[in-house]
């Protein structure tokens, strides 16, 4: 679609197709990003859910870790869901030996905070920044945010106060998977940031 942002989905591992389909449905020009030279061609990047440790290892194998870190530092909008949020965190409290993140968000996260796959659950979340109705959220081996830095805005928490959606500048992270429920508002928010980034880059 003419005038639509070109956004990438990091396609190393995880639920890549679901994000790509949702973004395409919203009118975005979607690219699957696997190599460093593809990163400068996009106005935003989605890091999908999957296995954070595997995505971390593959990003280093494919030479993507440093370019993604540099892109985040330059202001590229990035949306991470589940494992993607783990990879955006400055600190992973219970990563496997040698696990690293891209960083950029001043948060500490804890992996698999709710248990194993059979402990997955769904709930309704109030997200004031997105308005009504509540967000139907699916948590699958989901992380939680243990610490929120001063520059981080909490978008959503569970009833017990557990933080599950955060935003810092052009970075957005959710513990849950809007892409599996047909919930588009987080992706729309991400696309708004991508449009702003493209406009600023084009001057």
pLDDT digits (tens, 9 = 90+) for 30-87: 999 999 999 999 999 999 999 999 999 999 999 999 999 999 999 999 999 999 999 9
pLDDT of residue 128: 96
Which residue, among 191, 203, 197, has the nearest Cα to 29 in the 3D structure?
Answer: 191
CATH code: domain of residue 185 = 3.40.50.880
Domain count of the fold of the chain: 1
Domain membership flag for residue 140 = yes
pLDDT of residue 4: 84
Domain membership flag for residue 138 = yes
Residue 161, exposed/middle/buried by CB under 10 A (0-12, 13-18, 19+)? exposed
Contact 43, 8 (CB under 8 A): no
Query: What is the Cα–Cα distance from 74 to 14, expressed in whole angstroms?
Result: 25
pLDDT of residue 201: 87
Q: What residues are annotated to the active site?
A: 82, 177, 179
pLDDT of residue 112: 80
DSSP 8-state code for residue 126: -
Domain membership flag for residue 169 = yes
**CA triple 43-170-52, angle to 5 deg:** 85
Q: Could you list the pLDDT tens digit for every one of the 203 residues in the chain?
A: 446 899 999 999 999 999 999 999 999 999 999 999 999 999 999 999 999 999 999 999 999 999 999 999 999 999 999 999 999 999 999 888 999 999 999 999 999 887 665 568 999 999 999 999 999 999 988 999 999 999 999 999 999 999 999 999 999 999 999 999 999 999 999 999 999 999 998 87
Domain membership flag for residue 1 = no
Letter string b/e over residues 97-120, b meaning 16 or more CB atoms within 10 A of that residue's CB: eebbbbbbbbbbbbbbbbeeeeee
Domain membership flag for residue 150 = yes
Show the domain range for 46: 6-202
pTM metric for this prediction: 0.95
pLDDT of residue 2: 45
């Amino acid at each position: 679609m003419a005038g639509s942002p070109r956004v990438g989905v990091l396609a190393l591992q995880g639920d890549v197709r679901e994000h790509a389909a949702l973004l395409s449905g919203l009118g975005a020009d979607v690219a699957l990003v696997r190599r460093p030279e593809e990163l400068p061609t996009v106005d935003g990047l989605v890091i999908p859910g999957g296995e954070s440790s595997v995505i971390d290892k593959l990003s280093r194998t494919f030479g993507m870790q440093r370019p993604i870190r540099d892109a985040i530092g330059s202001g590229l909008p990035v949306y991470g869901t589940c494992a993607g949020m783990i990879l955006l965190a400055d600190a992973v409290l219970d990563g496997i030996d040698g696990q690293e993140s891209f960083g950029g968000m001043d948060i500490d996260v804890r992996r698999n905070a709710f248990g194993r796959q059979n402990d997955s659950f769904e709930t309704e979340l109030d997200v004031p920044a997105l308005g009504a109705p509540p967000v139907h959220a699916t948590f699958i081996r989901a992380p939680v945010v243990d610490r929120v830095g001063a520059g981080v805005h909490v978008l959503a928490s569970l009833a017990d106060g557990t933080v599950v959606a955060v935003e810092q500048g052009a970075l957005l992270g959710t513990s849950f998977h809007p892409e599996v429920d047909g919930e588009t508002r987080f992706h729309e928010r991400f696309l708004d940031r991508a449009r702003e980034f493209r406009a600023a880059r084009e001057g």
